[in-house]
A and B are shown apart, each in its own frame.
Chain A
Amino acid sequence: MQKKISSIPFAGTPEQEAELKAVIAKHIDDPGAVMPVLQEAQEIYGYLPIEVQTMVAEGLNVPLEEVYGVSTFYSQFALSPKGKYNISVCMGTACYVKGSGEVLDKLSECLGIEAEECTLDGKFSLTACRCIGACGLAPVITINDDVYGRLTADMIPEILEKYKD
C-alpha cells in the first residue's frame, strides 16, 4: 500500500529521544528487533517520521533501508501524525456492503481531508481501516476509543459536533 508521508515538520523532544534510546538499548541484542522497536517508537512519537526511523537504524546498527522497508510494509506503522481525534472508518466487507463508503465520503467532505490525512490544525485525522470485527454493528467508525455503529452518512455532522473542542 502506498503510504502518505507527512510534510509537517518533525517536533520531537529530548525526553522522547531519551525514551527511544532506552527502548533501543533494551532490544539491541534480540534477533529481529526492528519490528518491536518500531512498535514502541510509534507509541512514543505517535508516528514514525524519517528522523525517528534514522535514529532506530543507527541505534540498532541496521541499514535505514531495512527499517524503512519494515515501516512501509505494515499498515500499522504511520508515517503521518495522527490528529487529536483519529477517526477510523471500518472498510471490512460487512461494513462496506452496508454503506461505509458513503460514511467515509461524508467524513472527508465534512473535514476537508482525504483518508490517511490530518487536518492542518492537528485536530482530526481520517483513516480507512481494515475490519475491526464489530460486524454486528456495521457500518462502524471509531473516534479514538469511542465506537459508533449502525451509521448512515447523515449522522456524521452530529457526531463530529461532539468533538468541537
Chain B
Amino acid sequence: MYRSNVLVCGGTGCTSSDSLKIVDKLKEEIAARGLENEVNVITTGCFGLCALGPIVVIYPEGSFYSMVKIDDIPEIVEEHLLKGRIVTRLLYQETVEEDTIKSLNKTAFYAKQQRIALRNCGVIDPEKIDEYIAMDGYAALGKVLTEMTPTEVIETILASGLRGRGGAGFPTGLKWKFAAANDADQKYVCCNADEGDPGAFMDRSILEGDPHALLEAMAIAGYAIGATKGYVYVRAEYPIAVNRLQIAIDQAHEYGLLGDNIFGTDFCFDIQLRLGAGAFVCGEETSLMTSIEGKRGEPRPRPPFPAVKGLYKKPTILNNVETYANIPRIILKGADWFNTIGTEKSKGTKVFALGGKIEHTGLVEVPMGTTLREIVEEIGGGIPNGKKFKAAQTGGPSGGCIPPQHLDIPIDYDNLLAIGSMMGSGGLIVMDETTCMVDIAKFFLEFTVDESCGKCTPCRIGTKRLLEMLDKITKGQGTLEMLDEMEDLCNYIKANSLCGLGQTAPNPVLSTLNYFRDEYIQHVVDKKCVAGVCKDLLEFSIIKDKCFGCSMCARQCPAGAITVTDYTAPGKKKPAYEIDTAKCVKCGACLPTCKFGAIIKG
C-alpha cells in the first residue's frame, strides 16, 4: 500500500510538453528523499484538459497541478509529498477557493461531463492489465461468454440504442445483427482507429488511456457475430497508441483473455494490429478493408455491404474506437441504463475534441442533447482574449460550420444533420471573428482534394473545380454567379460520389455559403476580407498622424513600398511615411516593426 499516488498524464498532448521527463524527475526526487515505498508514480492516459498540460494529480488529496514544469518537481515532492503541504501556487487555479480546494469534478470543465467511454482515461495505468481488471475490466466479456447467448448480446446492444460514433450514426446492434445472420467459414471484427479528421483526437485518447476496453469490446463483438479474428487498423501517426495497444494485446494473451478457449469456454478470438500509412479515405469502411488487404485504399461500391462481403470477401463488422469503448459498460449496466442517457434518437454520451479559439482545449464527454453553448461557454470556458464567437465546426472535412444562432440546439445526430453539419467522429473547432469563413471552406477543400483517392470523377474533379472557384474568391477574382455555380456543383458532388468522402466533402462549402453568405459577398463585391485573413484582399496603410517617422518599417519592407512623405504630424519631429499599395506585396513584415500602432491592415 502506498500512502500517496501521483498520476501523471502520458497522453500525446502532455508527453509533447515533456510529461515523461516529469515522471523521471518525480521518481528521482522521491527516491532522493527515501519515499519510494510510500509514494507511487503512475503514468495514465489523457485527463482531457489538454490546454493545461502537463498535468500531475496527487491522491488521496486530489490536488490537480497544471502546466507543471520539470523545475517545479523538487518543490512538489518536498512540500506536498514529504511535508504534506499542497503547493497552492501550482494548482489549477479554478480548484483553489479562498480557504479550501475544490474537487476537480466540481470545476466548470468537468461538472457537466459524464464519462462512459473515457471512464478509465486519466484514472488507470493503461500499460497494466490488473488496473483495468480492478475497474471491472473483462467482467463484461466474462458475463457474455458464461451467461448470455450471442442473440442476447445483440438484443442488448440493439435495445441500448447505441449508434456508431465514427460518423453517420448507424445503429451498432443492427450492424452486428446483419453480420451474425450471414453464415460463413470465417468472419471478421474490425476496429477503425484511423482517426483522420484534422483536429479530432478522442479515439487516440481512448487507445492511449484505456486500450483494454477496446480489446474487450471487440472480443464481445466476435462472440456476438461468430467471428474469431479481429483487426485494429490504427494510424501510424499515433506511436504511443500503437505501442500501448500492442502491450495490451500481449497482456490479454498472457492472462488468457484473448486466444484460445477464453474463460474456459469454446470461444477463441485473436486481434492483430494493422498500421495505416496516412490516407484519409481509409476511414471509409470499404477502403479500410482494402487497405488491410495491402492494396491502395480505394472504396468499393456498396452493396454488397461489409456485413455480407467485407474483409477478404467475408462477413465483417467495423466500428470505431469510441463505439467499442461503450460496449463493456452497456453489457454490465444494462441497455435500460444506457437508454436513459441522451435524447430520443441519440442515446448515451459523445466525446468531443474541443479545439481552436477556446480557453479549455481538450477532450469532453457529455450526454447527447447537451447544447453547443454549454460546451463552448461553460465547459470550454469561452473564447480567449475577449473575442466574439463566430462559428463551431463539427464533423471535420465532412461537416459544417454552425453559426451563433444555432448555439442553443441540443447536440445529437439528427439535429446536427438538420442544420447542415454532422456529428462526425467528434472534432469541435471553435472559431472567432478573426477566422475567415471563406478561407476555412478553402482549407477543408484543400484537404479533400489532397485526400480524394481519385477513383470516381465527381469527387476527383468536382472538388478540384470547387477549390479553384474558392481560390478565385479569396483572391478577389470571384463573381456572384460563381456562388450559385458552386452550390450546384456541391449538390452534384454529394449526389454522385462513390463513397462517404465525396458525398460529404462539399458540406463545409455549403454550410458556410448558407450561414455566412455575407462574407462571400464581401469577398466578391467589396473585395474585402473582414477577418483579415485573405492576403490578396488586404491593404496595409499608415495612419500618418500616429507616425513618428522612425523609418523602422521602411527598412524592413522587402519591396521598397514604404517611402517618406512631406507631411509631419502635429507634435511629431520627423515626416510621416506612407505605403505604396501598388508596390506592396502584403507580406506583413512592417506590422510588427511599428512601436506606435501606426500601421493597420484591413
A residues in contact (CB < 8 Å) with B: 1, 31-36, 39, 69-70, 73-77, 91-94, 96-98, 129-138, 140, 147, 149, 154
With A74-B277, A132-B12, A149-B17 as contacts: A91 and B295 at CB distance below 8 Å: no
A145 to nearest B CB, angstroms?
10
B105 in contact (CB, < 8 A):
no
Residue of A nearest to B53 (CB): A136
With A97-B435, A130-B237 as contacts: A140 and B198 at CB distance below 8 Å: no
B465 in contact (CB, < 8 A):
no
Is B17 within 8 A of A137, CB to CB?
A: yes
B312 to nearest A CB, angstroms?
8
Given A94-B356, A130-B196, output 8 extra A-B contacts at Cβ < 8 Å. Answer: A32-B293, A34-B294, A35-B277, A94-B361, A132-B237, A133-B204, A134-B12, A140-B16
Digitize B223-246: 1 where CB-to-A-CB distance is under 8 Å, 0 elsewhere.
Answer: 000000000000011100000000
Is B199 within 8 A of A92, CB to CB?
A: yes
B296 in contact (CB, < 8 A):
yes
Is B204 within 8 A of A97, CB to CB?
A: no
Interchain CA distance A132-B236 in the complex, whole Å: 10
Is A131 within 8 A of B200, CB to CB?
A: yes
Is B435 within 8 A of A73, CB to CB?
A: no
Is B279 within 8 A of A131, CB to CB?
A: no
B443 in contact (CB, < 8 A):
yes
B431 in contact (CB, < 8 A):
yes
Hey, which chain A residues are within 8 Å of B361, CB to CB? 94, 135-136, 138
B342 in contact (CB, < 8 A):
no
Most chain B CB neighbours (cut-off 10 Å) among A31, A33, A96: A96
Interchain CA distance A134-B326 in the complex, whole Å: 24
Query: B295's contact among A32, A98, A134, A136, by CB below 8 Å, is which?
Result: A32
Residue of A nearest to B197 (CB): A131
Hey, which chain B residues are within 8 Å of A91, CB to CB? 198
Interchain CA distance A33-B292 in the complex, whole Å: 10
B201 in contact (CB, < 8 A):
yes
Interchain CA distance A85-B240 in the complex, whole Å: 21
With A93-B396, A134-B13 as contacts: A36 and B294 at CB distance below 8 Å: yes
Interchain CA distance A77-B13 in the complex, whole Å: 25
Is A135 within 8 A of B201, CB to CB?
A: yes
Interchain CA distance A73-B452 in the complex, whole Å: 10
Query: A74's contact among B197, B297, B356, by CB below 8 Å, is which?
Result: B297
B277-336 CB contacts (< 8 Å) to partner A: 277-280, 291-297
Interchain CA distance A76-B236 in the complex, whole Å: 8
Is B362 within 8 A of A136, CB to CB?
A: yes
Interchain CA distance A136-B426 in the complex, whole Å: 16
Query: A135's contact among B13, B17, B294, by CB below 8 Å, is which?
Result: B13
Is B277 within 8 A of A39, CB to CB?
A: yes
Hey, which chain B residues are within 8 Å of A149, CB to CB? 16-17
Interchain CA distance A91-B51 in the complex, whole Å: 18
B393 in contact (CB, < 8 A):
yes
B592 in contact (CB, < 8 A):
yes
B454 to nearest A CB, angstroms?
9
Interchain CA distance A130-B275 in the complex, whole Å: 16
**What are 15 inter-chain pairs, A to B, with CB distance below 8 A?**
A33-B294, A39-B236, A70-B294, A91-B198, A92-B199, A94-B356, A130-B198, A131-B196, A131-B199, A131-B201, A132-B237, A133-B201, A136-B362, A137-B13, A138-B355
Hey, which chain B residues are within 8 Å of A75, CB to CB? 277-279
Hey, which chain A residues are within 8 Å of B200, CB to CB? 131
With A69-B296, A137-B13 as contacts: A98 and B356 at CB distance below 8 Å: yes
Residue of B nearest to A152 (CB): B592
Hey, which chain B residues are within 8 Å of A131, CB to CB? 196-201
Digitize B186-225: 1 where CB-to-A-CB distance is under 8 Å, 0 elsewhere.
Answer: 0000000001111111001000000000000000000000
B328 to nearest A CB, angstroms?
24
Digitize B468-494: 1 where CB-to-A-CB distance is under 8 Å, 0 elsewhere.
Answer: 000000000000000000000000000
B429 in contact (CB, < 8 A):
yes
Hey, which chain A residues are within 8 Å of B278, CB to CB? 74-76, 130
B601 to nearest A CB, angstroms?
13
Interchain CA distance A97-B357 in the complex, whole Å: 8
B residues in contact (CB < 8 Å) with A: 12-13, 16-17, 50-51, 53, 195-201, 204, 236-238, 275-280, 291-297, 353, 355-357, 361-362, 393, 396, 427, 429, 431, 435, 440, 443-444, 450-451, 453, 592
Interchain CA distance A87-B16 in the complex, whole Å: 15
Residue of A nearest to B454 (CB): A73
Is B355 within 8 A of A94, CB to CB?
A: yes
Interchain CA distance A92-B204 in the complex, whole Å: 15
Interchain CA distance A74-B295 in the complex, whole Å: 10
Interchain CA distance A36-B297 in the complex, whole Å: 14
Is A134 within 8 A of B296, CB to CB?
A: no
With A93-B199, A93-B355, A93-B443 as contacts: A133 and B13 at CB distance below 8 Å: yes
B388 to nearest A CB, angstroms?
15
Hey, which chain A residues are within 8 Å of B451, CB to CB? 1
With A135-B355, A137-B13 as contacts: A92 and B294 at CB distance below 8 Å: no
A61 to nearest B CB, angstroms?
14
Hey, which chain B residues are within 8 Å of A39, CB to CB? 236, 275, 277
Interchain CA distance A139-B473 in the complex, whole Å: 26
Interchain CA distance A70-B282 in the complex, whole Å: 13
A88 to nearest B CB, angstroms?
10
Most chain B CB neighbours (cut-off 10 Å) among A93, A97, A136: A136
Is B277 within 8 A of A77, CB to CB?
A: yes
Residue of A nearest to B434 (CB): A97
Residue of A nearest to B241 (CB): A133
Hey, which chain B residues are within 8 Å of A147, CB to CB? 16-17
B219 to nearest A CB, angstroms?
24
Interchain CA distance A32-B231 in the complex, whole Å: 15
Is A133 within 8 A of B238, CB to CB?
A: yes
Hey, which chain B residues are within 8 Å of A133, CB to CB? 12-13, 195, 201, 204, 237-238
With A93-B443, A138-B361 as contacts: A76 and B277 at CB distance below 8 Å: yes
Interchain CA distance A140-B16 in the complex, whole Å: 10
Q: Which 6 A-B pairs have the closest CB atoms?
A: A32-B294, A136-B50, A94-B355, A74-B277, A93-B199, A75-B278
Interchain CA distance A132-B443 in the complex, whole Å: 17
Most chain B CB neighbours (cut-off 10 Å) among A31, A69, A76: A76
With A76-B277, A92-B198, A94-B199 as contacts: A134 and B236 at CB distance below 8 Å: no
Interchain CA distance A31-B294 in the complex, whole Å: 8
B364 to nearest A CB, angstroms?
13
A153 to nearest B CB, angstroms?
9
B552 to nearest A CB, angstroms?
15
Is A70 within 8 A of B295, CB to CB?
A: yes
B517 to nearest A CB, angstroms?
21
Hey, which chain B residues are within 8 Å of A136, CB to CB? 13, 50-51, 53, 355, 361-362
